[in-house]
Structure 1
């Protein structure tokens, strides 16, 4: 009989869920029920995957557990996916025209968070739910962080992107210090998910292509905003997780950030030059260099890590990398997560695979590996299986993890 020691405990650090639209109503304060009924009656969902027969993967707890287990996954970090009440789309940065509309959207996010707490409780120890907040009202955000932590949402919070022209302060602004402080105090991870920080570009074919080229870059911006803004210097226990933005970019960006940091700090100590004013006060505000901040405070939800990214794992930080399946999205690795793991990690030392496939996520999000061990013994992929690359890519796989040109390699 195969034991848990022979099998990998796979934790997906990037999954998505949410309630069916009308099922949010019981989680709304009763004063919003009539408004919700009117809103829901006229709402047209813009997302095809939420209208398909498979949409219930977002909220059908039993189906979800069964499909994830069949894919070798025993636990998951749960990001949002469906539309919260009173939002035109899933974007947390959708324009807010009035104070009343802002209040309704806060009510909608609270409804989602409360639904998510129940959804996570339906599978004890196997789901780390990520709570949603808005940045328009920092005091309300702080209260929601405390509520989420007190009610078992161990996935932390989803940090909304702040695209250019959003009308709210940039992420480096000290106005957000109360938010960073409460997250540091409670050990709540701050998650920044790819795709949420791009400015609107329109629907022209060129605009859609430009979005694909730029979307991860706009998501990366949260890293240097918080680093140069000194958030980690003022709140040393703060943790930032960058999810579904790739991972191969990290070493080069850290080198670039260290370069600018060193250059500006040095310039500030010299006689007045055109550049010296850019570095004035930077060293005192930041404390450590960007590279040091990354090593102490930051992690990457690398999702379906691609083979070409794996050789960079030690430069990224082996202890920083968390694999994710992106279930139930089309670009995710389901139902071929075993093949995705084998494609990326075949030939690596067993302890490295164990860390990236689950151990790191357990440490960041507080999963109990002993609790998960019996599930891994039942459904987890064997380390011997993961040690071998797949003979071929599944013909119907839709994840970029299997994109043409991604060679099957053994490291």
Structure 2
């Protein structure tokens, strides 16, 4: 942070190559298959067909628009469709081994493209790379390769929803992944929407998705906690992004309750609950709330007014604000207004940590490089401290939605 401006790092942005631009990043043996796939592929996402779609891959436009919005650096999650995928879903494993191998090739192509995209703006981008969970050995190889290529955003962890055919995230099957991430200092990111099962095309499907999607994403927290991943790999860091943050205090209280109850029951062999707690204390170690304080963070995308007063219970040092650029629900081009609407009155040091300092620490951004940029384009401290009572008329972010100041769990 400068004397009068905040250094803002968005912990949640999205990007990806235009469809045909992935081809040079594929091994040549996949080029014919790619041509055949691309010739018949119909993109299911309207925002990737619109005139603004190039915000995903146009480096100069992206830098200019983010700077105009007061943001000097970004953590980049995927957005466009990788080669050989029907959509962006990484969960369901294809039954055909050749299709599985092609999808791995597609993800590697995305990761290679992303490394080049980040290198086009040195120190300004931390790319989040992708893996599949169906082959842990290959996943570990890609973690090491992506980290060596400079993708500082870390790993995007797919979910294991019902029907995925994958072991649950608490399974020790994934220990080599946690071990590699802990060793290399690679954050494990779990983004909303990356764990929901398919819901079909009924009229209620979208509403049910909205109700359930964050819950399915939250599951990663209690799976890794109760599965003992943080006890076995104390350097492991989990980031839960675009899942809200207001739920965290209540869920930690609930998890601590079950932890205490089951650990106690596990010591009493004559009780009905004993079988539920057997071995739990030795397996997971500390309480869930302690695991949160030591190993976990929240990518608090478009943080809402009801969430900000909970920052002490969540942990000011655990919160990383995100704009969700270039999505419609993101704060662009009204990031300053969104911050005024939600964060006016927050002490300067606390807000500086949530807007950039914490993300710099987790993702390895150099504030000495970013602060001079922020001195020119960052939101002014006095400006953000002035409450905004009337949202912009054409704003689309949920920050400004009716009920945004009401607690929603």
TM-score, L = length of structure 1: 0.98
1:308-357 deviations in whole A, cap 9, x for unaligned?
01111000000000000000001101000111111111011100110111
Q: Which residue of 1 aligns with 2:195?
A: 197
Aligned length: 406
Contact 1:57/1:63 (<8 A) preserved = yes
For residues 223 and 392 of structure 2, the distance between their equivalents in structure 1, rounded to whole angstroms, comes to: 40
Shift of 1:271: 3.0
Shift of 1:272: 2.2
Please show how residues 144-183 of structure 1 align to structure 2 within 5 Å: 144-183=142-181
Q: Which residue of 2 aligns with 1:117?
A: 115
Q: 1:288 aligns with which of 262, 286, 289?
A: 286
Q: 2:329 aligns with which of 331, 334, 341?
A: 331
For residues 5 and 97 of structure 1, the distance between their equivalents in structure 2, rounded to whole angstroms, comes to: 57
Contact 1:322/1:357 (<8 A) preserved = yes
For residues 228 and 315 of structure 1, the distance between their equivalents in structure 2, rounded to whole angstroms, comes to: 21
Shift of 1:270: 1.0
Q: Which residue of 1 aligns with 2:80?
A: 82
Shift of 1:95: 4.2
Contact 2:341/2:389 (<8 A) preserved = no
For residues 45 and 197 of structure 1, the distance between their equivalents in structure 2, rounded to whole angstroms, comes to: 21
Shift of 1:175: 0.5
Contact 2:181/2:187 (<8 A) preserved = yes
Shift of 1:391: 3.8
1:355 and 2:353 correspond:
yes
Shift of 1:407: 4.8
Contact 1:161/1:197 (<8 A) preserved = yes
Which structure 1 residue ranges, 4+ long, deviate > 6 Å from structure 2?
A: none
For residues 322 and 47 of structure 1, the distance between their equivalents in structure 2, rounded to whole angstroms, comes to: 27
RMSD of equivalent CA atoms: 1.0
For residues 101 and 65 of structure 1, the distance between their equivalents in structure 2, rounded to whole angstroms, comes to: 36
Q: Which residue of 2 aligns with 1:10?
A: 8
Q: Which residue of 2 aligns with 1:135?
A: 133
Q: 1:35 aligns with which of 33, 36, 54?
A: 33
Q: Which runs of 5+ in 1 are unaligned?
A: none
Q: Which residue of 2 aligns with 1:58?
A: 56
Contact 1:88/1:94 (<8 A) preserved = no
Q: Which runs of 5+ in 2 are unaligned?
A: none
Aligned-partner SS, 2:170: coil
